[in-house]
Amino acid sequence: MKLFNLDSGLMRSLSKFTDCICLSLLFFVSCIPVITTGTACTAMYYTTHKVLRHDRGYLFRDYISAFRDNFKKTTVAWVLALIIGGVLWVDLYIMNFYAKEGSPLGPLAVFFVVGMAIWFAWVSWLFPYMARFENSVRQSMKNAILMTIVHLPMTVLMLVLAVITGLVFYMVPVLIFLLPAVYTWIQSYILERVFRKYMSEEDRMAEDEKYKEDLY
């Protein structure tokens, strides 16, 4: 039956569904040491863009390869980002305590809530950027900050996507084994529109040519 042909829409959808689960599980396992979370995010984005979106390469092999190749730089970037996020979270915790005690300092908690949102947005740009561009850690972090600000509509869109993903997980917790890959997949459609603007003409043409070859 054509329905169960390997090239049928049903079988391709089932294959993508399975890939999303496998990629999400790989991501969770990679995040277990915590310090490798940044590298896991980078490998997740790279594999999602290459394998899930464009059907190029092999999921496990490309994930492991991206994880290994980006480990050093992304670990440094993640540790620095984690320190910044940790400071913001501690400040937010303290301000919340003051707010509960009725202190006039309590309203400052709003400032740190905004700070945490900006931090999350920045990290959401940072590791996909490191997956797609070769740069020093310092330059990557700087460029991610600039993109967060310059492309504010895309940043807001990613924050909305993150909130929706969180709500879906809250309502259907079992989807935790699917949501990381799906979130990254949708995120890639937002980010790639921006990333392509920063690629050289030669790189864009070379990438487009690879995608065309894979279609035939």
Q: What is the pLDDT of residue 6?
A: 52
Query: What are the structural domain ranges in the chain?
Result: 2-215
Q: What is the pLDDT of residue 34?
A: 93
Total Cβ atoms within 10 A of residue 45: 23
Over residues 101-147, the pLDDT tens digits come to 666 666 777 888 899 999 999 999 999 999 999 999 999 999 999 99
Indicate the pTM of the whole model: 0.88
If we measure between CA atoms, which residue out of 57, 25, 64 comes closest to residue 43?
Answer: 64
Q: What is the pLDDT of residue 216?
A: 43
The residue-averaged pLDDT of 63-77 equals 96
Share of the chain above pLDDT 90, in %: 69
Over residues 5-20, the pLDDT tens digits come to 555 566 677 888 999 9
Give me the DSSP letters along 45-105. HHHIIIIIIT--S-HHHHHHHHHHHHHHHHHHHHHHHHHHHHHHHHHHHHHHHHHHTT-TT
